[in-house]
A and B are shown apart, each in its own frame.
Chain A
Amino acid sequence: MSSRLVFALLCLSTAAFAAEPDAVRQKELVHLVRQDCGSCHGMTLQGGLGPALLPANMRDKPVEAMVATIYYGRPGTPMPPWKQFMSEAEAGWIVNQLMSGFPQ
Chain B
Amino acid sequence: MKTLRLIFCCCLALLLNACATPQLRGTGDLGLIIERANGHVTLVNTSSRQPYGRISGLGDLSHASVVYSRDGRYAFIFGRDGGLSKIDLLEAKIVKRVIQSGNAIGGSISQDGRIVVAQNYTPGGIKAFDAETLELLSEVPAEYAPGQFSKVVGLADTAGNKFVYALFDGGEIWVTDFSNPRQPRTQRYPAGKQPYDGLVTPDGRYFLAGLFGEDGVALLDLWQPEKGARKILENYGRGQEKLPVFKMPHLRGWSVAQGKAYLPAIGRHEVLVVDVASWKEVGRIAVRGQPVFVMARPDGRQIWVNFAFPDNGKMDVIDTLAGKVVHAFEPGKGILHMEFAPRGENVWLSARDDNKVVIHDTATFGKVGEISAESPSGIFFTSRAARIGF
Whether the Cβ atoms of B121 and A47 lie closer than 8 Å is: yes
Judge if B14 is at the interface, Cβ distance under 8 Å.
no
A35 to B63 CA separation, bound complex (whole angstroms): 11
Q: Beyond A39-B309, A49-B105: 9 further Cβ-contacts under 8 Å? A: A39-B63, A39-B248, A42-B63, A42-B103, A44-B80, A47-B121, A47-B122, A78-B194, A78-B196
- In the A-B complex, list the 8 residue pairs whose CB atoms are closest, starting with the nearest: A80-B244, A43-B62, A36-B309, A39-B247, A44-B60, A81-B244, A42-B80, A80-B245
Q: Which residue in chain B gives the minimum CB-CB distance to A41? A: B62
Judge if B352 is at the interface, Cβ distance under 8 Å.
yes
Tell me the B101-147 residues at the A interface (CB within 8 Å): 103, 105, 121-122
Chain B residues within CB distance 8 Å of chain A: 36-37, 60, 62-63, 80-81, 103, 105, 121-122, 151, 153, 168, 194, 196, 212, 244-248, 309-310, 334, 352-353
Judge if A38 is at the interface, Cβ distance under 8 Å.
yes
Tell me the A39-89 residues at the B interface (CB within 8 Å): 39-40, 42-44, 46-49, 73, 78, 80-81, 85
Min Cβ gap A102→B in Å is 14
- Interface majority SS on B: helix, strand, loop or mixed? loop
Residues of A within 8 A of B352 (CB): 35
A44 to B121 CA separation, bound complex (whole angstroms): 15
Whether the Cβ atoms of B310 and A85 lie closer than 8 Å is: yes
Residues of B within 8 A of A40 (CB): 247-248
Min Cβ gap B15→A in Å is 44
Question: Given contacts A36-B309, A43-B37, A85-B310, is CB(A48)–CB(B121) below 8 Å?
Answer: yes
Query: CB within 8 A of A47: which of B36, B103, B153?
Result: B103
Residues of B within 8 A of A38 (CB): 62
Whether the Cβ atoms of A49 and B168 lie closer than 8 Å is: yes
Query: CB within 8 A of A43: which of B80, B151, B244?
Result: B80
13 residue pairs of the A-B complex, CB under 8 angstroms, read A39-B63, A40-B247, A42-B60, A42-B80, A44-B81, A46-B60, A47-B121, A49-B248, A73-B244, A78-B212, A78-B248, A80-B244, A81-B244
Whether the Cβ atoms of A80 and B63 lie closer than 8 Å is: no
A48 to B80 CA separation, bound complex (whole angstroms): 8
